[in-house]
Structure 1
Amino acid sequence: MPENANQTSSEIDTERTDGPRDVPRALIALIEEEGLKVGDRLPPELDLVRRLGFGRSTIRETLKTWESMGVVSRNKGAGTRLIAEISQNTLRVALTIKHEAESLLRMQQVRGPLEIEAVRIATRQATPEQRKLINARAAELMAVFEAGEDWRPADHRFHNAIHEATGNPLFRQFIEQIQKAFHDIYETPFGKAHLGQETIPLHRPLADAIIAGDEDKAAELTQTIIDMVCVETQKISEEHDG
């Protein structure tokens, strides 16, 4: 009787302690060891579980990711076949970009509605002093941007001024927590420290709309800024996939 014949599904799904991030490396090592080439079929999932020591669900998720990246094709009858050359280096770059894109897009999905609501409330409720501060922060941001300097700290101060004008500290707290969750993993998304740079010129009219009390215009500009970052993120991911 084969060694694994009496394994239960729970035993098969037991994860190795080194975690799912090591599954791609383990799979590549197996591919290289077996000398598999484009067009060759990978061992069945249960065989991979036995040989690599990872849970079946984790291996399956990795193979699904590879399929979406165009590394393998998966067919119930034909199994999993390599359709592109793969190495530790090429996989690391591809996975990094894919995961960063997915993480950033998810963050924007949560952050976007909060930012828009914060802008609406700030436009309605900001005091004259707060409007002056928003104007000053916008001027600072544009000056730094036009000087070709690092505009991120000024951008952060600009948005903080808007959040403070809502009178509700939870906006700033929640948005900063969302951003921190992303940047704890990716300090510079896609290796680009200034992702979203094309949106900076829109911050001046955004400030003007808030100062003028034009709530709909301010919300529209905020949505445009968020959409532009998402489009840029998706474009980078698709360009790499191509």
Structure 2
Amino acid sequence: MAARDPKQFSHSMAPLPARSSSRDVLEALTHMIEVEGLGIGDRLPPEVDIARQLGIGRAKVREALTAWQNMGIVTRNKKAGTRLATEVVSNAIHLPVTLKLEAESLLRTHAVRRPLEIETVRLATRNITPQSGRIIMGRVGELIAIHGAGQDWRAADYRFHEALQEACGNPLFGQLIQQIQHGFNEVYEAPFGKPHLGEASIPLHLPLAEAVVAGDESAAAQVMERILDMVEAEIRESMQSMVEGRND
């Protein structure tokens, strides 16, 4: 079967309001993909055509597609264009396609981060110094205090993990983790409408910090795995709650 011309898909995209976000752009593209029945390997329209149909700047389209690329949803190549790398269609999960994509993107991001986060704490434990240990304990103390006060703890959590990444001695770990997370956060600031996803794992950050500073590599890795398991479980529970809510 001959490949379809992506320009033929323009009728599936309606203009967006002024000051639309990257998420708005991706929701419009998701709608177009579902309506047109595009699958893995199919090519999306060029950035310039998407921007023209949506009535927005090309830079906003590029920003949105780059976020999808960072999450493994599309591949981008100057010669081949932008092509789907995963299915973006509704299925038996009974969720709106945009929420389904959000859930799958978050799980995919989490799966890639898992080995990086675990190896980061292993390396931090091996390379810990008195100075980096003081920084880590200071950051975790700040995190626990802010969380205990019922305040927004996300920035403090970021600073704590940044301290672990700096202590590991290999800047590539921090760069890769931040790039992966940034790609998701560009689009989904509050996954499933929950800005504090992973909050249940915050108390475990203190024993994590203590194990790293004590040089107990095995304990540090085990606590990090528990934290990651709790976050993944919360993602899946949120998905299940949405499915049950739609079926009531």
TM-score, normalised by the number of residues in structure 2: 0.67
1:14 and 1:55 in contact (8 A); partners too: no
Find the counterpart in structure 2 of residue 41 from structure 1.
Answer: none
Question: Which 5+ residue runs of structure 2 have no aligned equivalent?
Answer: 14-27, 43-83
2:126 and 2:217 in contact (8 A); partners too: yes
1:12 and 1:55 in contact (8 A); partners too: no
How big is the shift at 1:168? 1.1
Question: What are the within-5 Å matches in structure 2 for residues 97-176 of structure 1?
Answer: 97-176=99-178
Residues 64/130 of structure 1: CA separation in 2 closer, same or farther (3 Å cut): closer
How big is the shift at 1:100? 1.5
For residues 144 and 210 of structure 1, what CA distance do their matches in structure 2 show? 21
How big is the shift at 1:67? 3.1
For residues 114 and 170 of structure 2, what CA distance do their matches in structure 1 show? 17
For residues 146 and 233 of structure 1, what CA distance do their matches in structure 2 show? 23
How big is the shift at 1:97? 2.5
How big is the shift at 1:96? 3.1
Find the counterpart in structure 2 of residue 96 from structure 1.
Answer: 98
Find the counterpart in structure 1 of residue 201 from structure 2.
Answer: 199
Q: Does 1:211 align with 2:213?
A: yes
For residues 38 and 207 of structure 2, what CA distance do their matches in structure 1 show? 52
For residues 7 and 228 of structure 2, what CA distance do their matches in structure 1 show? 40
Please tell me the residue identity of whatever aligns with 1:21. Answer: T
Bigger radius of gyration, 1 or 2?
1
Provide, for residues 49-79 of structure 1, a one-character-per-residue CA deviation record: whole Å limited to 9, x for no partner: xxxxx36648x99x98433234xxxxxxxxx
Please tell me the residue identity of whatever aligns with 2:92. Answer: S
Please tell me the residue identity of whatever aligns with 2:9. Answer: R
The count of corresponding residues between Structure 1 and Structure 2 is 185
For residues 123 and 217 of structure 1, what CA distance do their matches in structure 2 show? 10
Question: What are the within-5 Å matches in structure 2 for residues 1-242 of structure 1?
Answer: 9-11=2-4, 16-17=9-10, 18=13, 20-23=29-32, 54=36, 57=39, 65-70=89-94, 94-242=96-244
Post-superposition, which runs of at least 4 consecutive aligned residues in structure 1 deviate over 6 A?
Answer: none
Please tell me the residue identity of whatever aligns with 1:229. Answer: V
Find the counterpart in structure 2 of residue 39 from structure 1.
Answer: none
How big is the shift at 1:238? 1.5
Please tell me the residue identity of whatever aligns with 1:67. Answer: N
For residues 163 and 195 of structure 1, what CA distance do their matches in structure 2 show? 21
Provide, for residues 73-93 of structure 1, a one-character-per-residue CA deviation record: whole Å limited to 9, x for no partner: xxxxxxxxxxxxxxxxxx7xx
2:33 and 2:88 in contact (8 A); partners too: no
**Identical residues among aligned pairs (%):** 45
Q: CA RMSD in A?
A: 2.7
1:125 and 1:165 in contact (8 A); partners too: yes
1:100 and 1:186 in contact (8 A); partners too: yes
Provide, for residues 8-55 of structure 1, a one-character-per-residue CA deviation record: whole Å limited to 9, x for no partner: 5324887514475234785xxxxxxxxxxxxxxxxxxxxxxxxxxx36
Residues 146/64 of structure 1: CA separation in 2 closer, same or farther (3 Å cut): closer
Residues 184/13 of structure 1: CA separation in 2 closer, same or farther (3 Å cut): closer
Secondary structure, in 3 states, of the residue corresponding to 2:90?
Answer: helix
Residues 113/11 of structure 1: CA separation in 2 closer, same or farther (3 Å cut): closer
